[in-house]
Chain A
């Protein structure tokens, strides 16, 4: 049977830009950064939330041939830039403090902390356009 979720994958526009955003702005830690020459310099890049070692986020560049044809690659890149390529959900112990801190580092919020039945949550995006939620649950 399945044992554990280890990695979740999101597309990023540019891996260097994403790595800087996730580590410097969101405060995540680098987990893996391996480039494989025999795979056309495929770069396996992952980050994670400090204190949660068993789940990593793979920051995946959108590949061209031989993985995807050029049209497909462009379609994914466009969906990503439109904010239509998915997102992630995070939690925090202090939403207001986290909001101020992240905003101070230049993270773009589409929703300030807002009261919800399950707690208080806010919305922001990464540098690529992926949508994230940050919630302080009751």
Chain B
């Protein structure tokens, strides 16, 4: 049997983010899924996927939050908790920085995508995920 490709373990950690974003996931938990130490894991994850694991986790949560804003009438505070974030204040800040408007304004501006096209979920999730390069704090990491 061929040995498992090392990146396959990183992909398992990435999938864990997609599957369990509602939970209070942290980098050590993700690192364990990839059989690596947290520091080594973060470095290898960024090398493989182009962004740090905590950034990937945040973009997953924001993508889900944006979908819930578009497709449900849950309150912003509810949605914040539903996607695994605990502070509504920092959720609103991250959301505004990523999507360019507050969660409430975003909701008002977007009719549900489903009204326009029958796009498969995987496509919606992949294309709706905000890019972490739009985060201000990402600059240093990318240069490093």
Closest Cβ–Cβ distance, residue B20 to chain A (whole Å): 10
**B5 engages A110 (CB within 8 Å):** no
Q: How many of chain A's residues touch chain B, expressed as a range?
A: 20 to 34
Closest to A78 in B: B7
Is A117 in contact with chain B by the CB < 8 A criterion?
A: yes
- Per a CB cutoff under 8 Å, which of A16, A117, A125, A133 touches B1? A16
If the complex has contacts A78-B7, A82-B48, A89-B120, are A112 and B19 also in contact, measured as CB distance less than 8 A? yes
Is A123 in contact with chain B by the CB < 8 A criterion?
A: yes
- Per a CB cutoff under 8 Å, which of A80, A114, A125, A131 touches B5? A80
Docked Cα-Cα span, A117 to B121, in Å, equals 9
Is A70 in contact with chain B by the CB < 8 A criterion?
A: no
Docked Cα-Cα span, A114 to B122, in Å, equals 11
**A82 engages B15 (CB within 8 Å):** no
Q: Which residues of B contact A108 (CB under 8 A)?
A: 12, 15
Contact residues of B between 1 and 19, Cβ < 8 Å to A: 1-2, 4-8, 10-12, 14-15, 18-19
**B14 engages A13 (CB within 8 Å):** no
Q: Which residues of B contact A81 (CB under 8 A)?
A: 5-8, 10-11
Is B49 in contact with chain A by the CB < 8 A criterion?
A: yes
Which residue of B2, B12, B48 has the most chain A CB atoms within 10 A of its CB atom?
B2
**B2 engages A125 (CB within 8 Å):** no
Docked Cα-Cα span, A16 to B2, in Å, equals 9
Q: Which residues of A contact B4 (CB under 8 A)?
A: 13
B contacts, CB < 8 Å to A: 1-2, 4-8, 10-12, 14-15, 18-19, 48-49, 114, 118, 120-122
10 contacts between A and B (CB under 8 A): A13-B4, A13-B8, A14-B1, A77-B5, A82-B49, A112-B19, A116-B114, A116-B121, A133-B120, A133-B122
